[in-house]
Structure 1
């Protein structure tokens, strides 16, 4: 089963003013997958979109998709 974008760990960090300010977000398991935004919420939304694009490009190129480092636990009642 293919991982979902929300399965990956993401980090959101402030960017220095010298780099334009705002926030950067990245998914460490997916090399080069990063995004930015003016607010943490914008950066978070952008990284999930970037993860989807990263996975789509990997599938099209026939590259392996790394498994999430810590897949989320799903609880079924």
Structure 2
């Protein structure tokens, strides 16, 4: 299944003792892994499942919109 290019956050969770991958545009859509690469691999599966379920249920598929604050900043001229 092809899907839009969503932003993926990847971070270490000390509380869970694993890497977390999260897609802000697809709430709730997250996955975990022992390494960042494993978390990213797992989130790809989670996104595919999220989108397939939304489509089966007739829900709208959100366009990718999330941008981290660092990219959203506007610079004064």
TM-score, normalising length from structure 2? 0.78
- For residue 4 of structure 1, report the CA deviation from its aligned partner: 1.6
5+ long unaligned stretches in structure 1: 71-77
The gaps in structure 2 that reach 5 residues or longer are 67-77
Aligned length: 66
Counterpart in 2 of 1:24? 20
Query: What is the RMSD computed on CA atoms of the aligned residues?
Result: 1.8
Q: How big is the shift at 1:20?
A: 3.2
Compute the TM-score of the two structures, normalised by the length of structure 1: 0.78
Tell me which residue corresponds to 1:10. Answer: 8
